[in-house]
């Protein structure tokens, strides 16, 4: 499978996932529909599905226009997320097929919104899988707890997403990587992997290139929100509970002026 990044708005990403055998494609969070259609046409692909991670306007706001422009397209969204323009509601564990080789698994990853869905995508043998995490998991960060609790975010990040295969590529909804890694260093100033990734990310951004994708393995090494099971992270937050550590780190991030 092929994945195309499409920068949208100020710092959002939409993505087109292409089943190479059939040229059928799905688009994740197409907030700028005309831009999406132009990229689809340039690549000669047939858009079949919109995969909406959550209902916020900068992710779902293009759905109605997509339906207007492509009347047959299916708009996928979480069953309890009230996604604009949704034609097909999905539950945790539901599977969708794209073309002949590409399979999409819906994962309920609530907290940022109560019905947030991440999409785990596998292609033909030899392709590394990918997960589209919207605003649940960012590179070295996580979304704000708008509609959920630290318990839910722990389940979403440290159970559901952390259990995906380590080489899984992580495609998130925003380009927040540099700031997230700068904050991560305030939690773990001696983590060399965070320092290395920060300088890499700064070079990427200077060149105008995306820092996405990461991998689940890299997130487990550098993302403080996915490292709360470690006693040393809990110690830094004055607790022995991973959920309390996650809550504390999120509060620090909310108040951080990096």
| Other beta carbons within 10 Å of 47 | 23
Distances (CA, A) of 42 to 31, 35, 37, 91: 18, 11, 9, 33
Strand pairing report for 24-28 and 12-19: antiparallel
Res 138: pLDDT? 98
Q: Three-state secondary structure along 143-164?
A: CCCCCCCHHHHHHHHHHHHCCC
Q: Look up 5 and say whether it is catalytic.
A: no
pLDDT < 50 stretches in the chain: none
DSSP 3-state of 178:
helix
Res 237: pLDDT? 95
Question: What is the length of the chain?
Answer: 258
Query: Out of 54, 55, 108, 116, which one is annotated catalytic?
Result: 54
Say which residue the tokens 């099971």 belong to: 229
Q: Look up 58 and say whether it is catalytic.
A: yes
Q: Look up 108 and say whether it is catalytic.
A: no
Which domains are assigned to the chain?
A: 2-255 (3.60.15.10)
Query: Out of 59, 81, 108, 116, which one is annotated catalytic?
Result: 59
Cα–Cα distance measured from residue 161 to residue 129, given in angstroms and rounded to the nearest whole number: 13
Q: Look up 174 and say whether it is catalytic.
A: yes
DSSP state of 243: H
Q: Which long-range contacts (CB under 8 A, 24 or more apart) does 151-154 make?
A: 151/243, 152/110, 152/111, 153/111, 153/112, 153/225, 153/246, 153/250, 154/228, 154/242, 154/243, 154/246
- Does this model's pTM top 0.95? My answer is yes
Query: Out of 55, 56, 108, 116, which one is annotated catalytic?
Result: 56
Dihedral (CA of 76, 62, 33, 120) sign: negative
Query: Out of 29, 55, 81, 112, which one is annotated catalytic?
Result: 112
Query: Out of 58, 101, 127, 128, which one is annotated catalytic?
Result: 58
Cα–Cα distance measured from residue 53 to residue 113, given in angstroms and rounded to the nearest whole number: 10
Q: Look up 135 and say whether it is catalytic.
A: yes
């Amino acid at each position: 499978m092929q994945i195309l990044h499409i920068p949208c708005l100020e710092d959002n990403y939409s993505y087109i996932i292409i089943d190479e055998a059939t040229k059928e494609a799905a688009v994740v969070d197409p907030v700028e529909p005309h831009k999406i259609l132009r990229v689809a046409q340039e690549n000669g692909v047939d858009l079949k599905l919109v995969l909406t991670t959550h209902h916020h306007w900068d992710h779902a706001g293009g759905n109605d226009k997509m339906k207007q422009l492509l009347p047959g397209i299916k708009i996928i969204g979480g069953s309890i997320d009230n996604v604009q323009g949704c034609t097909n509601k999905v539950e945790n564990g539901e599977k969708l097929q794209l073309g002949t080789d590409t399979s999409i698994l819906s994962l309920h990853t609530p907290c940022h919104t109560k019905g947030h869905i991440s999409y785990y995508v596998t292609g033909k043998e030899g392709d590394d899988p990918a997960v589209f995490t919207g605003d649940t998991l960012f590179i070295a960060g996580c979304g704000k707890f708008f509609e959920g609790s630290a318990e839910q975010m722990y389940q979403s990040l440290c159970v559901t997403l952390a259990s995906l295969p380590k080489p899984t590529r992580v495609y998130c909804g925003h380009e927040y990587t540099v700031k997230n890694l700068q904050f991560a260093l305030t939690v773990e100033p001696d983590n060399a992997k965070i320092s290395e990734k920060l300088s890499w990310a700064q070079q990427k951004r200077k060149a105008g290139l995306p820092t996405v994708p990461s991998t689940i393995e890299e997130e487990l090494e550098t993302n403080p929100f996915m490292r709360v099971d470690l006693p040393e992270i809990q110690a830094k937050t004055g607790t022995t509970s991973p959920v309390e550590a996650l809550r504390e780190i999120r509060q620090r991030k909310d108040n951080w002026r990096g």
